[in-house]
Amino acid sequence: MKIENYLFSAKTSGLKKNGQLDLALIFSNVPLRVSAVFTKNKIKAAPVILSKKNSKNIIRALIVNSGNANACNGADGIKDAKKVMSLASEALNIKEENILICSTGVIGERLDTSKIENSLPELVKSLSEDGAEQVARAIMTTDTFPKVVVKNMTINNKNYHILGMAKGSGMIMPNMATMLAFIMTDLPLSKNLGDALFKECVKYSFNSITVDGDTSTNDTAFFLYPDADMYFGNNEPAYGSGKDSAFKGILEKDINYDIVKYSVGEVCFSLAKMIAEDGEGATKSVTVEVINAYSELSAKKIAFSVANSPLVKTAIAGEDLNWGRIMMAIGKTDARIKPNYVDIYINNFKIVENSKSLGFIGAENEKKIMSQKEINIKIDLKCGPSFFKVLTCDFTNEYININASYRS
């Protein structure tokens, strides 16, 4: 799990009480650009504010800690995050303005920067090409497994890589548990293309497990790539490292751009699916697809209404084919529908036609459908051309247990 020019490292600094990895560093040998998506929550954590500022600059490093979100700490929070950036700047011998920072964990407690300070020399020393999975472990909070995806793509007969990692669980949207996602590639792109591409990828992946604005204080997604623009003014090869020196990266929306977009999109979608499946206490992976809606917005509203309904989610946990709850969730949004023309399929089994039950399908069939680990709810609104798909999970007792005792 390597990716050219990227180095990784993770350590236990003591910010997590359980002695697990909680501090990580990603460093690039070459100057990068970042396309970033931050939380839309009005209460933003200090690292979000600082990273947002630096995201316009060249990027060389990303430092991230778990165990403490450094959110709701006022001016002290900004001071502490700046301290971490200054320490990293010194240890790596790069400018502060070229560093990104993320935090995740408990809110409202001061970040103990001395712990980071103590761990930094060792963290820098152990940077290596092979540390990506350790970094993915170090950013976990309530996650039950690290989330890493690697994908190759061939551009101009050369092989490039995309490496993505993420943390997040808790079914995100109703919970606002923090999501962090870092996607890296060794393929140079121009910043404006990277921004356009990542925005689209996020829409159909991370934003299909959360909704605009309904995010935590710390949510952050970064897409990092060598800056293709930087090296073209003077006609130098883009980091000419054995790659085709005539090819300088993605500079326009051509066929190569489409390949990259598709590949980055796949990485993002895989990570989003892992997050949805790692819902706290979840036992089932659930997709809600709304098809033939008037507009994408109405498809999205209805998909989220169903996916976020505790009544629907508990019924799925109980393996109860309670389609009435799905109907309620469809009807309750302000999205336009034809109330008497809704069809519902569960795992491709049609159970509702024109808003009416097709009758009891028999206990055996019901068990067969609902005992599956993957539940697909498809809602055909028969209104228009638009669709939206949302990823989620079921809602179990374990969820309550985890969240009632999170801080203790």
Binding site for a copy of itself (CB under 8 A): 40-44, 69, 71-74, 76, 106-109, 170, 174-177, 213-217, 309-311, 314-315, 317-318, 320, 322-325, 327-334, 337, 339-340, 342, 352, 354-357, 395-397, 399-401, 403-408
The total of other beta-carbon atoms located within 10 Å of residue 384's CB is 15
The yes-or-no answer on residue 178 being catalytic is yes
With respect to a copy of itself, which residue has the nearer C-beta, 72 or 251?
A: 72
DSSP designation for 155? E
* Smallest separation (angstroms) from a copy of itself to the CB of 265: 26
Question: How many Cα neighbours within 13 Å face the side chain of 241?
Answer: 13
With respect to a copy of itself, which residue has the nearer C-beta, 30 or 107?
A: 107
* Smallest separation (angstroms) from a copy of itself to the CB of 183: 24
Rg (CA), the chain: 23
With respect to a copy of itself, which residue has the nearer C-beta, 89 or 141?
A: 141
Strands 374-380 and 285-293: parallel
* Smallest separation (angstroms) from a copy of itself to the CB of 283: 11
DSSP designation for 250? B
With respect to a copy of itself, which residue has the nearer C-beta, 212 or 254?
A: 212
Task: List phi, psi (to 5°) of 64.
Answer: -145, 140
Asked whether the CA dihedral 180, 134, 99, 187 is positive or negative, the reply is negative
List of residues 6+ apart from 28 with CB closer than 8 A: 5, 6, 7, 59, 60, 61, 224
With respect to a copy of itself, which residue has the nearer C-beta, 235 or 407?
A: 407
Whole-angstrom distance, CA of residue 22 vs CA of residue 14: 7
* Smallest separation (angstroms) from a copy of itself to the CB of 202: 18
* Smallest separation (angstroms) from a copy of itself to the CB of 42: 4
**Exactly one of 178, 185, 210, 220 is catalytic; which is it?**
178
> CB–CB of 387/291 below 8 Å?
yes
Give me the residue label for tokens 């001395």. 114
> CB–CB of 61/97 below 8 Å?
no
How far does Cα 272 stand from its chain's mean position? Answer: 5
DSSP designation for 39? -
* Smallest separation (angstroms) from a copy of itself to the CB of 71: 7
With respect to a copy of itself, which residue has the nearer C-beta, 74 or 362?
A: 74
Whole-angstrom distance, CA of residue 102 vs CA of residue 115: 16
List active site positions: 178
